[in-house]
Amino acid sequence: MKRASRLLLLAAAAGAALVISGSASTAPTGLRSAKLNITTQPGSGATGPVTIEVSQAGTDDPLAHITIYTGLGYTASLTATSGTQIGVATAKVQSADLGNATVPVAGTVQARDASGTYVSGGTQVPLAAAAMACTGTAAHAAFWVAAYQAAGQALELPLFVDPAAGPETAFAAYKIQACFPDPTLPTGDPRRAPLGLKLIDAVLTLKSVFTNPTSAGTPVWSAFFTPYTPGTGMANPAGTVESRSATIVPAAISLVAKYIKALHAAVLAGIISAGGRPLSGIAVPIYSGPSPTKLKAAGTSTKSNSKGIFAATKKIAKTTYFRAGGILGGGDVTTQLCAGPSLAPGGCVSGTVGEIPLLSPVRKVVVPKKKRKY
């Protein structure tokens, strides 16, 4: 089956704006395009892949520091042994040394010990020292390294992970911090990013680290982006901006199917819900085929009613398999999510609803064989 159709869901995030102390303001020119997008599993209490994507425009100032906060209610397993691969990483980087060409890179996310090292400019650097320089403390609950290869060079980015603490616990459960070298410094400056690399887009997919909240809702993740003052190697805290991404817990879709002889058709019905509430007005994509692994688009259902119930009738001449669903969420909801105040001096500049692949169980509809006449 090809990639499922998109079920746009923007209203679910409308009431989920992250409200924390501070005042909103107009973003400076430094990181106006900063964006966070989170993709999680659909079930309450589900553990599985979580994708964290951060991005900015090539014309923005380079990123110096980022702090990513999970939504409330998430739990995390931070006990992976050193060297364990806990996810995969991809990125797009802009290289000043390659005429500002955008280069794709890929790699893995590994757990490392606090006493371990990472590669920086071809040199092994103690993670504890990097943590002190980046976060102000050498001690963290977990140390991760995103390990890439680019132009024959090993590029490693350390990530420092902790439970939220103090005032952070009002809006987050955990935080991930990372720092980036300045690509705008002169060639030969030891602080300069290798190849003059500037982050444009980074995606981390973590396998079994985070577990969804058990309560229904739309928990909001948040990221604070701090830029460099270009050409100085100095971060610009006053230019820090925030981006938010709402997740949907739980999201569910059911499907029942039955052959009606008088109609020579399969009659399908199901219920679609998100954040513990039924979704109305959704025309759900339907897929059908001769086997569970050979399903193709077969139109859509009626629009779901106020109870989330949808239905469809499909003419069939032989036994057929059916499935319903699509991509729930995905889209820009800046107006809704950035309505509340922000701790970032530059304010909240973007808001998204993360995608959830939402598919029903496959249902088999048997067409009875005609009885032979003798």
**What share of the chain has pLDDT > 90, as a percent?**
83
Q: Is the pLDDT of residue 8 over 80?
A: no
Q: Does 297 have pLDDT greater than 70?
A: yes
Query: What architecture does CATH give domain 251-327+358-365?
Result: Sandwich (2.60)
* The predicted structure's pLDDT at residue 14: 39
- Residue-wise pLDDT tens digits, 126-158: 999 999 999 999 999 999 999 998 767 789 999
pLDDT of amino acid 329: 78
**Per-residue pLDDT at 13:** 43
pLDDT, one tens digit per residue, over 158-204 is: 999 999 999 999 999 999 999 999 999 999 999 999 999 999 999 99
Give residues with Cβ within 8 angstroms of 365, minimum separation 6: 257, 258, 259, 266, 316, 319, 320, 321, 322
What does DSSP assign to residue 343? S
Contact 72, 173 (CB under 8 A): yes
Q: Region 31-56: what's the mean pLDDT?
A: 95
Half-sphere exposure of 265 (CA within 13 A, CB side): 9
Q: What is the pLDDT of residue 115?
A: 96
On the question of pLDDT at 271 being above 70, the answer is: yes
Nearest residue to 8 via CA among 210, 303, 297, 323: 303
| pLDDT single digits (tens) 215-241 | 999 999 999 999 999 999 999 999 999
- Summarize the confidence of residues 295-314 as an average pLDDT: 97
Residues near 153 by Cβ (< 8 Å), separated by ≥ 6?
122, 194, 195
Q: Are 240 and 223 in contact (CB under 8 A)?
A: no
Residue 11 in this model has a pLDDT that exceeds 50: no
pLDDT at 198: 96
Report whether pLDDT(20) > 80. Answer: no
Domain boundaries defined on the chain: 8-249+330-356, 251-327+358-365
Report the mean per-residue pLDDT for the chain: 91
Dihedral sign for Cα 7, 11, 17, 23, please: positive
- Cβ atoms 145, 182 nearer than 8 A: no
Per-residue pLDDT at 21 exceeds 50: no
What pLDDT digit, counting tens, does each position of 318-354 carry?
Answer: 999 999 999 887 889 999 999 989 999 999 999 999 8
**pTM, whole model, 2 decimals?**
0.88
Is residue 18 over pLDDT 80?
no
Res. 73: pLDDT tops 70: yes
Residues 256, 185: Cα–Cα separation, whole Å: 62
How remote is the C-alpha of 363 from its chain's centroid? 30
Confidence (pLDDT) at 10 = 44
